[in-house]
Structure 1
Amino acid sequence: MDIETSGFHELSDWCGRLGLEKDGSAGELRQRLYSHYGVKPDSPGTSETKTDSREITIEKAENMKYFTIERVDENYAKISGDVYLKLFDEAKNETHVIRADTILFNFKENYLTATGNIQYQLEGETKTENFRGEKLTFNIDNSEGLFDKGITEQEKTVNDQDIVFYFKGDLINKTKENYVLLEDGRITSCDSDDPHYTIKATKIWLLTSNEWAIANGVVYIGRLPIFYFPAFLYGGDDIFFNPVFGYRSDFGNYLQTTTYLIGQKEEDEDTAFSFMQTAREDDYFKYEGLYLTEDENPSDKSRALQDYGRNSTNFLKVIFDYYTYLGIYSAIDLKLGTPKGKETEAFPDFINSFLSVFTNTELYLSIARTRYIENTANLISGLFPDENGIYSSIWQDSYFLKTIVPFRYGIDYSTTFDVEWLNFNIDINMYSEPSYTEDFSNRGENLDILSFLDPESTTGNSGSKTSSLDWSAVLDITPNMTAIEPWVNKFTINAETGLGFSSDTDNTFFYPDNFEQIITSLALGGQLLPFSSSAENDDKDGTAGGDIELRPPWDETAPPDSKKEEDSADVDSALTEPAPDIVIDLADYWSDNKTFGNNLTYSLSPKYTNRSQLSTSELTSPSDIDFNEIDYSYRTASLDGKLNYSANVYGNLFDIDNNISVVWDYKEHFNMDSLNEDTIQNYIDEDNQSSDAKITNNLTVSSTPMVYLDFLEDTKISYYFTTMIYNWDYSSDIAAYEGLFFQPTEDFISSHKISLKMPLELHGYNQTFEVSTTLPPVTMTTAGSLVLNYGISTSSFNTDFSEIDDGFAFSPLTFSEKLDFGNGNSFTNDISYNYSELYFEKNISKFNLSFFNGNLTTGADFTFDFTKNVSEYLNANIKYKFFSTTFSAKNTWNYDFNSETGWVQSAEQSFLPESLNFSIVQETDNIKLWKNRIDLKFDVNSSLNFKLIQFTDTNFSLKFGFEIEIYRFLDITFSSTSVNKSIYRYFPSYCSEIGINYINGFNDLIKSFNFFNIDDREESNFNLQSINIGLKHDLHDWDLNITYSGQPYVNDEGDYPEYNWENKLDISLKWKAIPDVKSELEIDKEGVSF
């Protein structure tokens, strides 16, 4: 019990048990108890105590007893009975939670000792640690703890699996710095009482972040020791140059180093022993010797620089690699963007000024000193004998431009200069040879120990060759046009130059291939004539844009006409009568829309290009490169200009839109002295075909004259006229360019049409009538359509007719009716009628029905041709859940079987049943069995397709698969595909028709499953196309995977092709905790590999 929180009766009983006076107030009773135990109200012994910045709260306990050992002058409190205690350390912002059967406080030494079912939890800002043990001694002042027979747990994700690792020790010592030392420690992820694997050591240190160490470590599989290492340290603090060592079969052992001056490497979460690591991505670091250690108090400049480099797009790193066979490689790799916010504190002002305009800068400079390597099946060596038999290295040279240099190199540079109105980008890359990137791009920055212990895991080269290079410089100028808007609101100048490189056929060097001397373009646009006025902004005399006064005739403010004063009374009385509901209030319409508005805009886009193709046919080495040797050059020029005028009166009462377009293209080849006559002529022909000019005009005039009628207000009349004003191109007839101005012919007038569209809304349903006709000189074509909607019904009528030489050609009148009943139920019928000849042409009917919430559906579509008086096509289907059947018939040729020639086509077509298909497609949800320990799922996709005309094409296919997951024991997957292309053999009538023997289908199926008789399986018409079986056995800490796949293949190695069966078996054993520890066995037609 607690003195401070106990009631009067509890305090009186307490004093009575101690032989103290039981009379008095509650305060007097509490004071007697405090005096008896020698404590004060705010000292330890209450339910809530404070020690410096630490606060202890006893959340739960059944009994509490205070006593003193006078010989050592120490006061104790013993708390028992499912004790739940919390200690909050304000300085470290940590909470310690202890659960135990009994806790003993030593107030003098500020220790507590817990025994029985101990659970200790340390809750920090970013992580929570859990310990269990038989006994705990805990220092309240500094949070040190000592566990007897202790265990701690950490959950880690390895290969997308959540695995709990257990760290056990006969003694676990947790220091005040939160270091953990395990005496006689053991590490495992196996939760069995007798673990399947264990790492045992006399001492295991779990230090800061990722740092841990082991002394006298032994790896046990079961009780069998398989590997011993006297000591091992995994540094939690990275070595600042990030060493990675390994082995490559082509280059030998290697050491790769990467030193970040700005930025930091990206952590690899899949390396070995990743379960011992914790996240550090938000930490700040500092150099201490060879290590990058956590910096708890970084300076503002250091913090700003690391924040700038924390973005993976910003870095500066120095690279140095050594390969025992190949040689050395070093590089500087830089990528910088514009600093933002406090990141600017990382650099001096002049660098910030530089980076503010050079917004993205990338620089890669590398150099390599390498030797030639002899790499054969039996030998890898970098030594070659000379004429005297003395072995030495032959070092690789390369060309820099035309000069031989004793090294290989790689350069990649790009930068963007960006100010308010100017953007300049340059991109240059250069490599000594195409294989340079193949040799050195495959690098690592995270050390994986097991990849070095297993040479096979690092064998090979995943880099790729660079086959071409491109240099470019691009300038964009976009000045601010605000001062002269809207006359000029777009003005952009673009200029580019570039040089392209290709590699020789042996991939030994790069050579310049094409040169873009200049590509320049201009984009100009603006608005020349913006003008609009409205009723509210008219002149005082009522005019708008001139002397013309536009007023509605019923405007009461309009002055009377002096010539018609005698009729004014009649006019007034007519205009004051109430208008029907369907008439819009035109006074509001006129006030809401502009009286007149117009717009004149323009755009102009000229472009010029000059390119040269360098001569490369005689190149054998970079020394042969000559920029003055040109095969040919060509220039292109183009102009794209538009002038658009649009105007409207009272909104869309009257609209006009006219667009004049000018397009000019020109191409010319020159410097062709080195080419033969045929090639020159081909280029001349290409120039002629690519050069032309056109001026076109596109006019659209439209009006919505029914704005005063609500239900017809969207009625629109439109006129379209598109013509070519001028055309200039090459004419092969006269072998010269020819320019032609507008002529009233179809060659110049591509569109001339008028149309009427009348949308009408009645009772909430839209009705639409449309009619259009082309006008001379375009061949006349008139088309009309009517769409009526009401309720579930949609009806439409469509037809057109065109002018031909001897009259008119009429298209059929098409009537379509659709009834939509909802929920997937509908009926549609389309019928066409030739009204010029007065007969029906074709009818297409479709229906779809759905029952039982869509579980049962059926539908059909049928086409009848009245002109031939035959049924043309029928398709009917029924689907119930996973089962469906489809029947089709069509007007086609019949076939008869001839024993000598096969199927023979009939002379005439007829309406015949074509196919009948049955299919089952089903994929089940997870089926839970055996108290949810087993998950079962299967899928079936089977179809039987009867071909009713040529029945020998009938086929059957079956795809079947299932998955069984037995919890923490076994996963089984199975899938197979089987086909049978001889189903007709099971029908006696079919067999007799083509003169072959009948086969019992059931017996044939049994033979296909007779795995004890290969002749039966080969004889059966049920053929297995593929089979896949997978077994994954959960061995607690290991996964045993067995997969088998088989499929037929054509063997061409013999005298004639034959089908053989290909088997492939894979067996792998993988350690869950460290997936890199694995063993694999593969057996296929090529043999056995391990």
Structure 2
Amino acid sequence: MVRPVVIATILFALSNLVLAGQLEAIDGPPRAETAPETSEQSDREREQISEPLSGAEEDSGEAPQERSPPVSPLLERTLLQDIETAEQGELLDWASTLGLSTRGSRRQIEDRILQHYQVRRSPAEAPRSEPAGSVLRIQRARGTRFFDVEQVDERTLRLSGGVLLTVEERGAFHSIEAEEILINTDQSLLNARGNVVYTVQREDGDERFRGDSVLFQIDSWEGVFIQGVTESLQEVDQEEITFFVQGERISRAPGDILVVEGGRITSSRADPPNWSLKADRIWIFAPGEWGLRHAVLHVGRVPLFYFPYFFLPGDRLFFHPVAGHRDREGAFIFTTTYFYGEREESDAPFSIMSLTEAPRDSQRERQGLFLRIPESPPEEETRPDWMLKVMADLYMRLGGYAGVAASMPDLGPLSRFDWRLGLGVSRSIYFENGRYSSYYVEDGEAQQYWNRGAFLGTTLPFRYESEVRLQGRVGTVRFNLEMMMLSDPEFRRDFHNRSEKIDWGAFLSPSADEEDSGGATVNSMNWNAELTWNPSVNHLRPRVRSFSLSPARARVAWRSKRDEGLPQEISPAAGTDKSPQERFFYPQSVTLPELGLTVEGELFRLREGASRKSSSPSDKDLQEDAQDQERRDRARSLRPPWEEEEEESPPHEEGAFRLPDTIGSMRGISDSAAGEISLTYRLNPTVRQDLFTDSASWETAEDVGLDWHYGTIQIGNQGRLVLNARARDRIATLTTTLSSDQRYQSLEIMGDMEESQRDRLQLNAYRGRSFTVTQASQIDLFPLRGYENLESSSLRYSLSSRIYDYGFSGLDSSGDPRYRGQWGQWEPSDITRHQTRAQLQWKRWSATQTLTATSDLPPRDRTYLGELRLERAFLAARFSGGYRERDDRWRADNFVQTYTASFPDQSLRLEQRFEHDPEGVNLVLSRSTLRLGPLQTQLTGRRTVGYDFDPSQGWVSDQTDDFHWTRLTVDLRGDHRLRWWHRRMDLTLNGRVTADIDLQRYTSSSLLIDYGATFSIHRFLDFRISARSRNDLLYQYVPSLADEVERPRRNLFSDLVDSLSLFDRDAREETAFKVDSLNISAIHDLEDWELEFGYSGRPELETVGGVSRYEWRSVVSIFFRWRPVPEIKRNIRIDDGTIDFID
């Protein structure tokens, strides 16, 4: 306890400083503070000296921030003065601008700013230290007064009128706002009254309290709030909800323990609250650790649940027991013990349980059986990312499991090293009469069957799993390995559906369907090992630019199949629920090795002007450049005006300002306009060996072995030479690629094999032997490169062909393979591409106009195609056409014209497309499109056969080819929004009408109407309705069309009225507008609850007794959710009279 005389001295000094308009610390230069005007002061009080309250401020302990570049000497000399003379608000803004933390004391903020600029305090300031106690500042008060209580010989300072008091101590920032504050200097007590708001800011978070009055012990900040309330903002289902913890008395005990007497927790702002959790006493011990005594959950005024005691520990056991029950496995208990690392954090099962949840990234240390958050940060672990855990599970019906799993990243050369081992013992589970059991009946007695595992034909009395995943790097070698081995396909399904945390929500809101969060059935596995080597070849450049061994692989493929020798007691006929012995794993194939080598490089490169001798800078030139750079560096730095440095200007030498001589291409600096020719290469040899087991003869798990059936070896060699050449200014470019691909495959028979299978495999091996050489060349000319508006115009010639082809051609009379080599011929089969293209690009009218002519040349089928594109402002036109040779005959392509006019905002767009047949000079296609705001329409006509209506046959083709208008589509959509009552009520209407009219067979026309509305009342109701109507009898509204097909006439308006007759079934059946779907939803906002009603319906065609008719199918759903605790919910679905409760 600080002596009363010290407290009195401090408060007298505070009073003097308030009167003077400043508040200073005794250990440093003055700092400007905002001070209230005082009404009463005594001369004796003005002579007092301010001293610290108590306790020294500590360093923030923050991690160093990102360092800025070194500062200039001027900034270094003035930075300390700027910091010391800055006000508190300016200092906070400065730190925030630099991205630094603004928490802690003023001294800590100053140190962060100095550390950011890499500036240290001068030795002269070293004796200056932080005050030995707290720094109390009166930020705002209308009046101050000291008075004595003579009866007890105590002095009290009274602050009144919107008081704001701040205190910095031990790395925390306290602020108290109240109408009146009394400070007892002798007892070191602080009493605040009237709309009290107390805030504590720490590095790990803020606390905020509100109440009528508060009494604090200043030195320890222990105190009591009367009618206090604290707030906590939590995110629940992506919605922020404020929880209130209020009580008649909120006391802050030593050790930052918060005790709430007569407490209540709620998120409802109503009075009285819609729901609340009331307790005689609430304890909040630490982050994530709190308890209740005699707690009652109220909904409105109705009590629902009573909790005599409830305690949620913040500390965790280093082993995690989980108990529960499942229908199939029975009762179970899971235990997970972490010897290294911690389990992954998950959300609290109930949102209200996260009110004081500990930070997810909080570090913990083991103390006994618990993982606790230490008072001081623990020492940083050498392997913070490592994890090692042991798992032991027991099932009443299934059996047991024991395993160990680890994750060890950054272990030597390994960047990743994850492994897992596990053993399981289990009984077969039978499903009969809707229940699970581990017993079967044999000879009138109940028996159990313990499952077995197998590996390569060996039967084991247990089931097992193993898995290894690693990645690493040694120098330029990268490697990774993935291996998994299971005793049976059902291992993960049985033993991986486990948890490390108790699901409290499952106890209070059980789900009808159990959620399967574990592994599924595994039917295949692969062991993969891969290595890549990319050594540095800088000393071989440019002849060798890259050299890599990629890939170097080994692979074992495991597959599963049904066991034909399954015992009778565990066969599917016995009612087993997926017995693990129904299927077994076997090795199907082994790939060892698979190697690939890639080498790339450049054989030569010639550049225009490269042979010229380039001049190199002399030592004198280099020295002068260094001096010039030094002078520029000094000019950029700030220099104080009182310390000017004089430098003598160096004498100008003769010829110093003479322009340098023109030189050719310098080493390392390429001239992009210069001509160039280069030859590059790429080699890619590969080899692969595959061994296949005799798996077809294995019928049971005991038959599995390493009996090799046959093997194959595949060798490949791929090569490529690329010649690139370009003339100066890229007037001409040439690219030629010469590629070769050689493949070889051999077959080795290792076991007994049928003749037909042997012949098939041997034939595939023969076909895998080939050698092919191809080439692809392309020449581009830019003859108009010197003309700015035409510089992109070009001429192109391209040729691709097969030069040589060697491959399997068949078997001779003795069954031996025959191969044939053939040089490429001037034939379409060998010439894969032979084409020319001329393109004229003209920059005109603020756009690029393009004319393109393309032709395919012999021996390919000849084609001559042309295209013209013109653009100006919002207008565009495109013309295309050509001729093609087919079967020695020339046929003309359709002449296509497309005209487009569009505004930049696309509010208006017109497009017209014509296609003409040049031979018959006939119009083949016409498509007109108009988009005007929400309206879009399209009219299509084409040359096709016509149709006539025959009452006895329907639509019949007239077999005449002519131009007909075929289809008209109109699409109109829109929405409108209305708001009134200060935007508390909102109505949105939306609709869409789509008409699809067949202009030839008009009975196929249809009309779709989509309409909907959304009506909202703020914090009360959200109502939505959407529907779709369909009308397939549009033609009956046109009398002549209805009479032509002998159908009754209809009136459009009467049909619309009948379609809206909700209470007249006959009218709805008579109208041509049929409802295709209907959806209605209403969400009622009950403040802390949400009630949703939903309805959806649609017609479905049903056939009963050979008679088909449409029946209306409807689904009604009711969904209730408690917003603060969304885990408590209920969903009811009514489908054709069937009621389902869905969680």
- TM-score range for the pair, normalised by the shorter chain length: 0.7 to 0.9
Q: Distance in 1 between matches of 2:191 and 2:786?
A: 95
In structure 2, the residue matched to 1:403 is: 458
Is 946-955 or 249-258 further displaced after alignment? Answer: 249-258
- Deviation of the 1:904 alpha carbon: 1.2
- Deviation of the 1:285 alpha carbon: 0.9
Q: 2:218 aligns with which of 132, 140, 151?
A: 140
CA distances 1:940-990 after superposition (whole Å, capped 9, x unpaired)? 222122322211111111222232232211122222222121222333322
2:1031 aligned with 1:1031: no
Question: Secondary structure of 1:528's partner?
Answer: strand
Question: Secondary structure of 1:900's partner?
Answer: coil
Q: Distance in 1 between matches of 2:279 and 2:424?
A: 44
Q: 2:239 aligns with which of 145, 149, 161?
A: 161
In structure 1, the residue matched to 2:270 is: 192
In structure 2, the residue matched to 1:888 is: 940
Q: 1:475 aligns with which of 499, 514, 531?
A: 531
In structure 2, the residue matched to 1:171 is: 249
In structure 2, the residue matched to 1:319 is: 391
Q: Indicate if the aligned counterparts of 1:363 and 1:412 stay in contact, CA closer than 8 A.
A: yes
Question: Secondary structure of 2:319's partner?
Answer: coil
2:549 aligned with 1:498: no
Counterpart mapping for 1:681-1080 below 5 A: 681-700=759-778, 720=798, 722-732=800-810, 736-743=818-825, 748-750=830-832, 809=890, 842=895, 844=897, 846-848=899-901, 850=903, 855-865=907-917, 867-868=919-920, 870-924=922-976, 927-1051=978-1102, 1054-1080=1105-1131
Give TM-score scaled by structure 1 length.
0.80
Q: Distance in 1 between matches of 2:923 and 2:785?
A: 50
2:539 aligned with 1:487: no
Q: Indicate if the aligned counterparts of 2:52 and 2:133 stay in contact, CA closer than 8 A.
A: no
In structure 2, the residue matched to 1:343 is: none
CA distances 1:1044-1063 after superposition (whole Å, capped 9, x unpaired)? 22222343565455432222
The residue type equivalent to 2:1036 in the other structure is R
Gaps of 5+ in 2: 1-11, 22-36, 54-87, 89-104, 106-129, 564-581, 616-661
Q: Distance in 2 between matches of 1:968 and 1:416?
A: 55
Is 882-891 or 958-967 further displaced after alignment? Answer: 882-891
Aligned length: 965
The residue type equivalent to 2:1126 in the other structure is P
Q: Distance in 1 between matches of 2:341 and 2:1061?
A: 66
Q: Distance in 2 between matches of 1:973 and 1:422?
A: 62
The residue type equivalent to 2:371 in the other structure is L
Question: Secondary structure of 1:537's partner?
Answer: coil
In structure 1, the residue matched to 2:431 is: 375
In structure 2, the residue matched to 1:75 is: 155
Q: Distance in 2 between matches of 1:712 and 1:992?
A: 64
Counterpart mapping for 1:425-504 below 5 A: 425-456=480-511, 459-463=514-518, 464-493=520-549, 494-504=551-561
The residue type equivalent to 1:725 in the other structure is I
Q: Distance in 2 between matches of 1:601 and 1:361?
A: 41
- Deviation of the 1:875 alpha carbon: 3.2
Higher relative contact order (CA 8 A, sep 6+): 2
Question: Secondary structure of 1:617's partner?
Answer: helix
Q: Indicate if the aligned counterparts of 1:267 and 1:446 stay in contact, CA closer than 8 A.
A: no
Distance 1:220 1:792, change over 3 A: closer
- Deviation of the 1:1037 alpha carbon: 1.6
2:597 aligned with 1:519: no
CA distances 1:394-439 after superposition (whole Å, capped 9, x unpaired)? 4322223333223222211122342123233222111121111222
Q: Indicate if the aligned counterparts of 2:41 and 2:145 stay in contact, CA closer than 8 A.
A: no
CA distances 1:288-330 after superposition (whole Å, capped 9, x unpaired)? 2332111344554x4443xx32xxxx53332233333223223
Distance 1:402 1:103, change over 3 A: same
Q: 2:400 aligns with which of 328, 331, 341?
A: 328
2:105 aligned with 1:59: no
- Deviation of the 1:702 alpha carbon: 6.2
Q: Distance in 2 between matches of 1:755 and 1:221?
A: 81
Distance 1:615 1:922, change over 3 A: farther
Q: Indicate if the aligned counterparts of 1:248 and 1:458 stay in contact, CA closer than 8 A.
A: no
The residue type equivalent to 1:999 in the other structure is R
Is 1048-1057 or 506-515 further displaced after alignment? Answer: 1048-1057
The residue type equivalent to 1:56 in the other structure is L
CA distances 1:674-703 after superposition (whole Å, capped 9, x unpaired)? 554444444444444443211234455666
Distance 1:765 1:73, change over 3 A: closer
Is 789-798 or 261-270 further displaced after alignment? Answer: 789-798
- Deviation of the 1:739 alpha carbon: 1.0
Q: Indicate if the aligned counterparts of 1:848 and 1:860 stay in contact, CA closer than 8 A.
A: no
Q: Indicate if the aligned counterparts of 1:247 and 1:459 stay in contact, CA closer than 8 A.
A: no
In structure 2, the residue matched to 1:220 is: 298
Q: 2:45 aligns with which of 31, 34, 38?
A: 34
Q: Indicate if the aligned counterparts of 2:52 and 2:132 stay in contact, CA closer than 8 A.
A: no
Q: Indicate if the aligned counterparts of 2:741 and 2:773 stay in contact, CA closer than 8 A.
A: yes
The residue type equivalent to 2:523 in the other structure is S
The residue type equivalent to 2:163 in the other structure is V
Q: Distance in 1 between matches of 2:1049 and 2:875?
A: 55
Q: Distance in 1 between matches of 2:837 and 2:969?
A: 49
In structure 2, the residue matched to 1:98 is: 176
Q: 2:707 aligns with which of 623, 628, 632?
A: 628
Q: Distance in 2 between matches of 1:789 and 1:8?
A: 78
Is 148-157 or 115-124 further displaced after alignment? Answer: 115-124
Q: Indicate if the aligned counterparts of 2:876 and 2:899 stay in contact, CA closer than 8 A.
A: no
Distance 1:469 1:797, change over 3 A: closer
Q: Distance in 1 between matches of 2:435 and 2:883?
A: 84
Q: Indicate if the aligned counterparts of 1:802 and 1:810 stay in contact, CA closer than 8 A.
A: yes
In structure 1, the residue matched to 2:206 is: 128
Question: Secondary structure of 2:539's partner?
Answer: helix
Q: Indicate if the aligned counterparts of 1:246 and 1:455 stay in contact, CA closer than 8 A.
A: no
- Deviation of the 1:132 alpha carbon: 1.9
Question: Secondary structure of 1:243's partner?
Answer: strand
Q: Indicate if the aligned counterparts of 2:588 and 2:693 stay in contact, CA closer than 8 A.
A: yes
The residue type equivalent to 2:820 in the other structure is E
Is 674-683 or 159-168 further displaced after alignment? Answer: 674-683
Q: Distance in 2 between matches of 1:333 and 1:982?
A: 69
Q: Distance in 2 between matches of 1:382 and 1:127?
A: 53
Q: Distance in 1 between matches of 2:738 and 2:1011?
A: 65
Distance 1:1046 1:706, change over 3 A: closer
Gaps of 5+ in 1: 10-25, 339-354, 541-585, 813-840
In structure 2, the residue matched to 1:824 is: none
Q: Distance in 2 between matches of 1:711 and 1:189?
A: 71
Distance 1:810 1:950, change over 3 A: closer
Distance 1:104 1:411, change over 3 A: same
Q: Indicate if the aligned counterparts of 1:843 and 1:865 stay in contact, CA closer than 8 A.
A: no
Q: Indicate if the aligned counterparts of 2:417 and 2:471 stay in contact, CA closer than 8 A.
A: yes
Distance 1:334 1:382, change over 3 A: same
Q: Distance in 1 between matches of 2:200 and 2:503?
A: 31
Counterpart mapping for 1:339-418 below 5 A: 355-384=411-440, 387=443, 389=445, 391=446, 393-418=448-473
Is 716-725 or 783-792 further displaced after alignment? Answer: 783-792
Is 683-692 or 591-600 further displaced after alignment? Answer: 591-600
Distance 1:613 1:964, change over 3 A: farther
- Deviation of the 1:129 alpha carbon: 1.9
